[in-house]
Structure 1
Amino acid sequence: MEFELVAEGLQFPEGPIAMADGSVILTEIQGRRLTRIRPDGSRETVVETGGGPNGAAIGPDGAIWITNNGGSFVWIERDGLTIPGPTPPEHAGGMIQRYDLTTGELRTVYDSCDGKRLIGPNDLVFDRQGGFWFTDHGCSTPDGRKFGALYYARTDGSHISRQRDHIISPNGVGLSPDETVVYVADTQLGRLWAFDVAEPGVLAPPPGFAPGRIVANLPGYQLLDSLAVEASGKVCVATIINGGITAFDPDGSTEHFAFPDLICTNICFGGPDMQTAWITASSTGKLFRARWPRPGLRLNFNG
């Protein structure tokens, strides 16, 4: 696949949003900010978020909603690459933030569910009703891992619910075109999960002992990060170690598109025909633009 470098020198970019003016707003997890990248590669800081802004999306209110992991990584510099390491001992948890592009107000909307602190919110997607699904990636501890979960919340602050608990490392999240399925990429397992939706914001009971249906497990040692869905229903998941984007068909078959970074973390679609793809190459701090072979799914809300 042919691609071009749009920007470099970013501090672990993630969470790209394709804006109507041709720019991309993305998170810099290590930099603790949202940054706008214009088509010519120039950039400006949108807002300093603190913590660790990970995923970002435009909500029904036109604001940017941010899954902030609260600073859940120690950053390791190795062989010219930036690599997320263990969770620092001072990490207290993460939050869901809302940034108003008009007023400049940044506020925390959720930091807990049922009295339990969110650990490391990671990615989010809005449904047609204007609510959002989000993943909590969990975090590492000296004694093992705090498992993650899949949540649903409303933007007015009135509702947050834990829809599936005890998932090892949920990362990217997306909806099928008909919104009957929530897809979740599990980083450590290299697995794409499918969770059936019973009604908006509510998952159907799991099948048997498994938390959801398995779309596919990648072979060997490959890790999965954030994702975007194509209009056809294929799920494009950023892939670590085997750096690039892996497109999962709901039937379980896969197709890999290589990009020159060990840690590709996300992809988003935009442009008039939704075939412009932006890929965050995080360990090298770069943003790439490519012509995708198929159109991406247009999100319910756009900037």
Structure 2
Amino acid sequence: MTDFTVVAQGLRFPEGPVAMPDGSVILVEIADGRITRCFPDGTRTTMASPGGGPNGLAMGPDGKLYCCNNGGFNYHEHPSGLLIPNGQADDYSGGRIERIDVETGAVEILYKDGDFGCVLRGPNDIVFDQHGGFWFTDHGKNRPRERDVTGIFYVKADGSHLEEVIFPSENPNGIGLSPDGNTLYAAETYTCRLMAFRITAPGKVDQTGGLGGAGIPLYRPAGYKFFDSLGVEECGNICVATIGESGISVISPAGELVEFVSTPDPFTTNICWGGADRKTAFVTLSGTGQLIAIPWARPGLKLAY
């Protein structure tokens, strides 16, 4: 098992970590519909309460947080103590993209289902590019006998543009950009595939990737596993949270497994990097409600904002 330090515990399905300059980490607690700031001394504060299912977070060019809100899940409390998402919430409030003021906690809805003719079922994860726009995945929702068919979107942070660029995608989850900004990576949960898309212009990808549409499958592990969110290292490796095997799969841009960093929670869901050298990985262990810090062998990629 990888050496790690527990930064926070008792969280309600944490995800979407964002490392801040002061050493704190802002994350979502999906099951409680809130945004929480965790400090190095173990204290934490509620920063905002958007409700629904806040999921992916990213800092934008205006110093505000942008949040993918999936509208909420039902949950199952497993006898082992794990908290497990269990389909669309009975009080599902709709998919949306929110902007959150870090200082005041004010929440505004930037995009919602139906805007610009787009269907938003369960926005999941988010990454900004150097042009001030951002990509996000829509993971969709599961219901007793059906599952949404969803896609990958590009939007402008000022609320003026929302476009579904890639459709269909098999329940996309994690999303990230290569260091040069020319490749978009997306992790599909149920197929457990890491997909790569060639970016041709801001918000556009090569749509002739091959059989099945845009993009090419870069990597898929053997066995019964699922991919969740991801982060990218400075050297270009893609670090994908892997459910089932419990840890982070580190994959080269060529599609080779570099290493697997194990964790003690089967619902290991996301990763980001902090510290002066960006060699401290903050990883969300959602099933057990923990945020942990892992000394990382290579620095994480410096984000756009």
Q: What is the rounded CA distance, in whole Å, between the counterparts of 1:92 and 1:29 in structure 2? A: 13
Any idea what SS the aligned residue of 1:194 has? strand
Q: What is the rounded CA distance, in whole Å, between the counterparts of 1:77 and 1:241 in structure 2? A: 17
Q: Which position in structure 2 is the counterpart of 1:229?
A: 232
Q: What is the rounded CA distance, in whole Å, between the counterparts of 2:74 and 2:231 in structure 1? A: 27
Residue 286 in structure 1 maps to residue 290 in structure 2: yes
- CA-to-partner distance for each residue in 1:129-179, whole Å, 9 max, x for gaps? 110000000111233211121000001100011011121210000000001
Q: Which position in structure 2 is the counterpart of 1:218?
A: 221
Structure 2 unaligned residues grouped into runs of 5+: none
Structure 1 unaligned residues grouped into runs of 5+: none
User: Does the 8 Å contact 1:93/1:117 carry over to 2?
Assistant: no
Q: What is the rounded CA distance, in whole Å, between the counterparts of 1:25 and 1:191 in structure 2? A: 28
Any idea what SS the aligned residue of 2:87 has? coil
Q: Which position in structure 1 is the counterpart of 2:279?
A: 275
Q: What is the rounded CA distance, in whole Å, between the counterparts of 2:89 and 2:52 in structure 1? A: 12
Give the letter aligned to residue 15 of structure 2: E
Counterpart selection for 1:126 from 128, 137, 153: 128
Q: What is the rounded CA distance, in whole Å, between the counterparts of 1:170 and 1:236 in structure 2? A: 15
Q: Which position in structure 1 is the counterpart of 2:151?
A: 149
Offset of 1:205 from its aligned partner?
1.4
Q: Which position in structure 1 is the counterpart of 2:265?
A: 261
User: Does the 8 Å contact 1:246/1:256 carry over to 2?
Assistant: yes
Matched residue pairs, number?
300
Q: Which position in structure 2 is the counterpart of 1:99?
A: 100
Q: What is the rounded CA distance, in whole Å, between the counterparts of 1:201 and 1:168 in structure 2? A: 20
Q: What is the rounded CA distance, in whole Å, between the counterparts of 1:87 and 1:102 in structure 2? A: 31
* Superposition RMSD in Å: 1.1
Relative to structure 2, which stretch is displaced further, 104-113 or 46-55?
104-113
Normalising by structure 2, we get a TM-score of 0.96
Relative to structure 2, which stretch is displaced further, 105-114 or 85-94?
85-94
Any idea what SS the aligned residue of 1:46 has? strand
Offset of 1:116 from its aligned partner?
3.6
**Structure 1 consecutive aligned stretches of length 4 or more whose deviation exceeds 3 Å:** none
Any idea what SS the aligned residue of 2:31 has? coil
Relative to structure 2, which stretch is displaced further, 114-123 or 124-133?
114-123
What is the 5 A alignment of 1:7-86?
7-71=8-72, 73-78=73-78, 79-86=80-87
Offset of 1:89 from its aligned partner?
4.8
